[in-house]
Amino acid sequence: MIDDKRFTVDVSPETLAKTTFKGAKIGDRLNLERALRLSDRIDGHLVSGHIDGIGTVTLKQNIGNAIIVSFKVPEFISHYMIQKGSVAVDGISLTINNCGNDSFDVSIIPHTAKLTTIGFKKAGDLVNIETDMIGKYVERFVGDKRHDEKTKGVKTSLDMEFLAKTGFV
């Protein structure tokens, strides 16, 4: 419900379990953005708003005109990260500078720091993390050993051997 400068939303148990919203308080800053229509121009990364889990800000440092922000994340989240790949932090679509088994960092330009919540974050703050959905689909298609009734256990043609043979890996 929208009323003057306020609005009300429902939050599901899944959202509370996977996001920082369970700790949200009145007055906390949030990033809100309209959903992209598929007919719109895609400018940046594909972000669905479906959070994979929670990360923690570990460091913020100024380098030139940018702010480098480092995060600690569970390995099941970092598994889907690659250097120069995409990640959404509190809904902000960003490029990963570097990543490790349980961490990654991004470079924030002044405009992003000013207009989103990431400019207000400090070490120890929790953030919502969404990894690249395409990587998760590729992993599922390549590694999925389940078979439905239609395939009758026949191996599909999309596997690591096929990807290697065609130059994708």
Tens-digit pLDDT profile for residues 1-34 = 788 888 888 889 998 999 998 998 888 888 877 7
Please list, in sequence order, all residues whose beta carbon lies within 8 angstroms of the beta carbon of residue 114, skipping any fewer than 6 positions away: none
Domains detected in the chain: 43-131 (2.40.30.20), 133-169 (no CATH)
pLDDT value at position 68? 98
- The predicted model gives 128-148 an average pLDDT of 79
pLDDT value at position 153? 56
pLDDT value at position 156? 61
pLDDT digits (tens, 9 = 90+) for 52-92: 999 999 999 999 999 999 999 999 999 999 999 999 999 99
pLDDT band at 148 (very low <50, low <70, confident <90, very high): low
pLDDT digits (tens, 9 = 90+) for 91-116: 999 999 999 999 999 999 999 999 99
Say if residues 84 and 99 touch (Cβ distance below 8 Å): no
Cα(59)–Cα(134) distance, integer angstroms: 28
- Which whole-number Å values give the CA distances from 22 to 76, 90, 92, 126, in the listed order? 21, 14, 19, 11
Lowest mean pLDDT among 21-25, 125-129, 151-155: 151-155
Place of tokens 């470079």: 107
Cα(85)–Cα(82) distance, integer angstroms: 5
pLDDT over 90 (residue 140): no
